[in-house]
């Protein structure tokens, strides 16, 4: 290893092209001759893009990330030449990308730690914490039920009812899985208190749809303009579920706008872009999303229109310094819808070009977003949008090679990781559920089986995010992922997808169904206590685990099975609703046409779609909800 030969510590920069904090450092301290010189003399520098190598995003301190207060989606670690963890560049330094002196001071401290690695009495080193974290993930203790009620209480305590979102040390990020857990567990008052203020904030992109990813302030006014396909796809799932579970028209409107944003902004030639990178000017504004006083006057020369925009879209510099339109009063979506649409259109016509998407060609991104788009269009009962979503499924064929999948076509990035395999299985399942095409389900089943063969530890039953042969990930960091990145962790995805396939295949492939169910059950039991320590970033795990404990779903049969299933799903989009074709659920097909509610070994039906939707609660019976 080069670091050992040169006896230098490793400066490991982990981030993505959409991360605002990484962009600031690139444009700030990394342009400094002093910083460049110090790094060149004293460190071996390595930069890892988390879209290219998702294995790195939660590789270091995977269970202690909350305690060290990492910035969202961005990390700088200092390793010794053997790869042992020595230090990290702290949040307060990395938060300010132009503070050259603070950054150099942090580098000097890190270098001194490398030169003098004496242990501090009573204080474990970062590497000791790392080893403890890895041991807990790889060989967890005896299975036990996840502490749903405790987690719900902790999530509620962490929520920011004033500004929306969750407390995160002065920085806010979009956290769809945490909101979704509150929704699924029936904590509607807490969900709305924590989520609705975000919909009235600059975090919502009213110009192009969807959501910006991060804000540098608790009140969302210092929004950054990067957007991600996965983050918005996860928000789409949340909004579609909320629109059926809470009587508020804003959720459906936001779902439609987010759906269109993903298609319009992230669709490339043969895959989806992972992110949309948008630079801000020195004043913190965006050429596309911001409307300063002069620009607003040019876009809306009519005084009445301009006054309306200032009042209804919050375009007042004193309270909205970045002048990003925000929905001050959602009731205008119904009471003044035509004017709202007309004003937004005028703003779009008088602003900068829409930023281009970047980082395309990754299967995990394309597959996850495709799955969410298909489910959303089906749940919204929107044939036009469903047709567009189904067309994206064709993108996935180029990633498949027999039962294996690739991560990317680029040399060195072809080997698939767990997220790639699960994403393909997820999208294939959703394609079957929306079309009844049995070959899609068979494709997903084959890739899912292959994933369990490749990534499952035969001794402990855990699923690693990568395999030991994948480089440059060090072998000792091949480990399960529990913390959510932009959406679910790979462990959460594995639980959800194994559980769904197990329920569908129960009669047609009982052996595989049993294996998938036991995998989901074991992962659910192993990680509940560890997930508690990750606060809202483990909500994906608790959402998936909840579907294991409350496993009720609907199967529809007969010549109208697809139409019946779609009708039920529109009422309960949080549940699995399966049209049975071919040899699927022959046990129910033989009983006659209609809808069946299945809960474990218990089956109730046949009944009408309306009765099934009424009898099956959209809420999961965990977390202290109704």
Below-50 pLDDT ranges, the chain: 623-626
287 and 408 both lie in a single domain: no
Please give the Cα distance from 62 to 82 (Å, whole number). Answer: 19
Q: How many domains is the chain built from?
A: 3
287 and 319 both lie in a single domain: yes
Strands 404-405 and 214-215, how do they pair? unpaired
Among 463, 480, 497, where does a domain finish? 480
Kindly state whether residue 381 falls inside one of the protein's structural domains: yes
Kindly state whether residue 592 falls inside one of the protein's structural domains: no
- How would you class 592 by CB atoms within 10 Å of its CB: exposed for 0-12, middle for 13-18, buried for 19 or more? exposed
CA 185, 190, 194, 197 dihedral sign is: positive
Strands 594-599 and 602-607, how do they pair? antiparallel
Contact criterion met (CB below 8 Å) for 84 and 13 = no
Please give the Cα distance from 225 to 245 (Å, whole number). Answer: 30
pLDDT of the residue at 21: 83
418 and 382 both lie in a single domain: yes
Please give the Cα distance from 190 to 379 (Å, whole number). Answer: 24
State the angle between helix axes of 383-392 and 418-435 in degrees (0 to 180), rounded to the nearest 10: 140
Please give the Cα distance from 177 to 191 (Å, whole number). Answer: 12
350 and 249 both lie in a single domain: yes
Kindly state whether residue 560 falls inside one of the protein's structural domains: no
Kindly state whether residue 451 falls inside one of the protein's structural domains: yes
Kindly state whether residue 530 falls inside one of the protein's structural domains: no
241 and 324 both lie in a single domain: yes
Secondary structure, 3-state, 196-213: HHHHCCCCECCCCCCECC
What are 381-408's pLDDT values in tens digits? 999 999 999 999 999 999 999 999 999 9
Please give the Cα distance from 585 to 439 (Å, whole number). Answer: 16
353 and 367 both lie in a single domain: no
pLDDT of the residue at 625: 44
Please give the Cα distance from 136 to 66 (Å, whole number). Answer: 16
124 and 230 both lie in a single domain: no
Please give the Cα distance from 272 to 604 (Å, whole number). Answer: 41
pLDDT of the residue at 624: 46
What are 528-568's pLDDT values in tens digits? 999 999 999 999 999 999 999 999 999 999 999 999 999 99
Kindly state whether residue 73 falls inside one of the protein's structural domains: yes
365 and 460 both lie in a single domain: yes
What are 561-619's pLDDT values in tens digits? 999 999 999 999 999 999 999 999 999 999 999 999 999 999 999 999 999 999 999 99
pLDDT of the residue at 470: 55
Residue written as tokens 């059950």?
521
pLDDT of the residue at 471: 57
Residue written as tokens 């369990």?
452
pLDDT of the residue at 24: 84
pLDDT of the residue at 20: 82
338 and 250 both lie in a single domain: yes
316 and 227 both lie in a single domain: yes
Kindly state whether residue 537 falls inside one of the protein's structural domains: no
pLDDT of the residue at 594: 97
CATH number of the domain where residue 30 is located? 3.40.30.10
What are 248-280's pLDDT values in tens digits? 999 999 999 999 999 999 999 899 999 988 778
Residue written as tokens 């796809």?
233
Please give the Cα distance from 566 to 576 (Å, whole number). Answer: 11
Q: Which helix (H) or strand (E) holds 172?
A: strand 172-173
Contact criterion met (CB below 8 Å) for 438 and 505 = no
229 and 106 both lie in a single domain: no
For 364, the 3-state DSSP assignment is: helix
Kindly state whether residue 584 falls inside one of the protein's structural domains: no
State the angle between helix axes of 438-455 and 510-532 in degrees (0 to 180), rounded to the nearest 10: 60
What is the spatial order of strands in the sheet that 10-15 belongs to?
44-49, 10-15, 75-79, 85-88
State the residue range of the domain holding 72: 2-138
pLDDT of the residue at 549: 94
Helices (H) and strands (E) in the chain, counts: 26, 15
Among 312, 337, 358, where does a domain finish? 358
pTM for this model (two decimals):
0.95
- For residue 6, the 8-state DSSP code is H
Q: What is the CA radius of gyration of the chain?
A: 24
Contact criterion met (CB below 8 Å) for 598 and 554 = yes
β-pair partners for 44: 10
Q: Show the tokens assigned to 173.
A: 């990020």
391 and 249 both lie in a single domain: no
Among 433, 459, 480, where does a domain finish? 480
């Amino acid at each position: 290893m080069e670091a050992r030969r040169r006896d230098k510590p490793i400066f490991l920069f982990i981030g993505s092209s959409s991360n605002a904090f990484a962009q600031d450092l690139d444009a700030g301290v990394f342009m400094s001759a002093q910083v460049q010189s110090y790094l060149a003399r004293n460190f071996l520098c390595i930069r890892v893009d988390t879209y290219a190598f998702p294995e790195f995003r939660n590789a270091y301190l995977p269970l202690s990330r909350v305690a060290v207060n990492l910035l969202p989606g961005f990390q700088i670690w200092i390793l010794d030449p053997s790869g042992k963890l020595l230090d990290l560049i702290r949040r307060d330094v990395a938060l300010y990308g132009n503070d050259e002196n603070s950054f150099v001071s942090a580098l000097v401290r890190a270098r001194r730690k490398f030169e003098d690695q004496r242990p501090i009495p009573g204080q474990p080193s970062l590497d000791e914490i790392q080893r403890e974290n890895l041991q807990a993930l790889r060989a967890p203790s005896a299975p036990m039920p996840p502490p749903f009620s405790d987690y719900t209480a902790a999530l509620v305590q962490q929520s920011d009812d004033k500004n929306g979102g969750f407390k995160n040390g002065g920085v806010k990020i979009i956290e769809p899985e945490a909101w979704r857990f509150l929704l699924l567990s029936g904590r509607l008052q807490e969900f709305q208190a924590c989520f609705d203020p975000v919909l009235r904030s600059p975090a919502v992109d009213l110009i192009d749809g969807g959501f910006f990813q991060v804000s540098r302030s608790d009140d969302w006014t210092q929004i950054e303009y990067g957007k991600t396909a996965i983050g918005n796809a996860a928000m789409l799932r949340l909004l579609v579920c909320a629109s059926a579970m809470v009587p508020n028209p804003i959720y459906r409107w936001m779902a439609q706008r987010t759906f269109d944003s993903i298609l319009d902004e992230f669709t490339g030639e043969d895959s989806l872009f992972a992110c949309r990178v948008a630079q801000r000017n020195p004043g913190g504004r965006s050429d596309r999303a911001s409307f300063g006083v002069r620009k607003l006057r040019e876009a809306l020369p009519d005084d009445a229109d301009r006054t309306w925009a200032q009042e209804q879209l919050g375009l007042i510099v004193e309270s909205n310094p970045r002048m990003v339109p925000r929905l001050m009063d959602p009731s205008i979506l119904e009471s003044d819808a035509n004017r709202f649409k007309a004003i937004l259109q005028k703003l779009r016509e008088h602003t900068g070009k829409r930023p281009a998407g970047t980082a395309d060609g990754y299967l995990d991104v394309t597959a996850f977003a495709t799955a969410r788009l298909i489910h959303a269009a089906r749940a919204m009962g929107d044939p036009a949008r469903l047709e567009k979503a189904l067309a994206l499924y064709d993108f996935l064929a180029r990633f498949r090679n027999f039962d294996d999948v690739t991560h990317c076509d680029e040399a060195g990035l072809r080997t698939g990781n767990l997220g790639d395999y699960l994403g393909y299985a997820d999208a294939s399942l959703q394609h079957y559920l929306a079309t009844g095409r049995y070959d899609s389900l068979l494709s997903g089943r084959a890739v899912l089986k292959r994933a369990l063969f490749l990534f499952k530890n035969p001794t402990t039953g855990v699923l690693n995010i990568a395999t030991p042969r994948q480089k440059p990930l060090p072998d000792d960091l091949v480990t399960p992922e529990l913390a959510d990145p932009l959406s679910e962790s790979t462990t959460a995805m594995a639980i959800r997808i194994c559980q769904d396939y197990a329920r569908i295949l129960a009669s047609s492939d009982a052996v595989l169904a049993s294996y998938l169910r036991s995998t989901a059950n074991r992962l659910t039991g192993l990680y509940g206590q560890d997930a508690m320590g990750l606060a809202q970033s483990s909500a994906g795990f608790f959402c998936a685990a909840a579907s294991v404990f409350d496993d009720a779903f609907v199967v529809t049969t007969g010549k109208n099975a697809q139409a019946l299933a779609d009708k039920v799903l529109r009422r309960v989009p949080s549940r699995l609703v399966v049209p049975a074709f071919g040899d699927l659920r022959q046990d129910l097909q033989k009983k006659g046409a209609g809808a069946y509610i299945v809960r474990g070994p218990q089956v109730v039906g046949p009944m009408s779609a309306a009765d099934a939707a009424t009898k099956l609660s959209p809420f999961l019976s965990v977390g202290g909800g109704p």
